[in-house]
C-alpha cells in the first residue's frame, strides 16, 4: 500500500494491516482509526484559441519536468474547484479565464506523488497577457497536429480524445 501510516495519527499506537472488503488498509488496534488512501483532486482548464490551438505549459519541476501539460493543479482544502482552475491558469500563464463548463474528468495513475482525479473545465480567455509563471518553464498555444511531448497519461488521453472529436 502506498503512503501507509506506521503510527496512528490520533493516539500514536503502531497501526496494523487489516483487510476490509478485499482492500488492505492500515488500522489502529487501540482507537479503531482506519487510514483510507484516496486520490487527490486537481483542477485545470482547457483553452483553445480561434485557430483551434491548445494552450499548454512546460513543466519546470518533476514529475515530467520538461514535458508539456494543460494548465492544472491541486485544489486547496477550502477552495472552490472552479476557483482552482482560474488560479492555476493565472499562475502558470498570466491569463484570466472565464469557466464555461466541464470538458473531461479523468483518473491519473502515473503521478509518483499519488493518484489524482483531474477535473478539466472548458474556458475562454477574458484578460491578461501570456507569460509563463514560476511553476512553468514556458507557455504557448500549439496546433493539435503538431504537439510537443505531453506529460501524464491522463493528459495524453484527454488530448487524444480531443483530437478524435475534432477530426
Residue 123 to residue 82: CA distance in whole angstroms: 10
Is residue 26 at the binding interface for Zn ion, with CB under 5 A as the rule? no
DSSP E strands in 89-146: the ranges are: 95-108, 116-128, 136-142
Is residue 11 at the binding interface for Zn ion, with CB under 5 A as the rule? yes
If the CB atoms of residues 1 and 160 are measured against Zn ion, the closer one turns out to be: 1
If the CB atoms of residues 34 and 130 are measured against Zn ion, the closer one turns out to be: 34
If the CB atoms of residues 15 and 47 are measured against Zn ion, the closer one turns out to be: 15
Residue located via cell numbers 491558469: 89
Buried b (16+ CB within 10 A) or exposed e, 82-96: bebbbbbbbebbbbe
Among the residue ranges 23-31, 36-44, 76-84, 124-132, the one whose residues contact Zn ion (CB under 5 A): 23-31
Is residue 33 at the binding interface for Zn ion, with CB under 5 A as the rule? yes
Chain residues binding Zn ion by CB under 5 A are 8, 10-11, 13, 28, 30-31, 33
Amino acid at each position: 500500500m502506498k503512503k501507509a501510516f506506521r503510527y496512528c495519527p490520533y493516539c500514536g499506537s503502531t497501526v496494523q494491516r487489516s483487510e476490509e472488503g478485499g482492500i488492505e488498509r492500515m488500522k489502529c488496534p487501540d482507537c479503531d482509526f482506519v487510514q483510507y488512501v484516496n486520490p487527490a483532486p486537481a483542477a485545470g482548464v482547457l483553452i483553445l484559441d480561434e485557430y483551434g490551438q491548445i494552450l499548454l505549459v512546460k513543466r519546470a519541476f518533476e514529475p515530467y519536468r520538461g514535458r508539456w501539460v494543460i494548465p492544472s493543479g491541486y485544489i486547496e482544502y477550502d477552495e472552490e474547484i472552479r476557483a482552482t482552475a482560474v488560479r492555476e491558469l493565472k499562475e502558470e500563464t498570466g491569463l484570466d479565464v472565464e469557466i464555461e463548463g466541464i470538458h473531461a474528468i479523468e483518473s491519473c495513475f502515473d503521478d509518483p506523488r499519488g493518484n489524482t482525479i483531474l477535473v478539466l473545465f472548458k474556458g475562454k480567455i477574458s484578460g491578461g497577457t501570456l507569460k509563463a509563471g514560476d511553476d512553468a518553464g514556458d507557455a504557448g498555444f500549439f496546433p493539435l497536429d503538431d504537439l510537443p511531448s505531453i506529460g501524464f497519461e491522463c493528459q495524453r488521453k484527454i488530448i487524444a480524445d480531443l483530437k478524435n472529436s475534432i477530426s
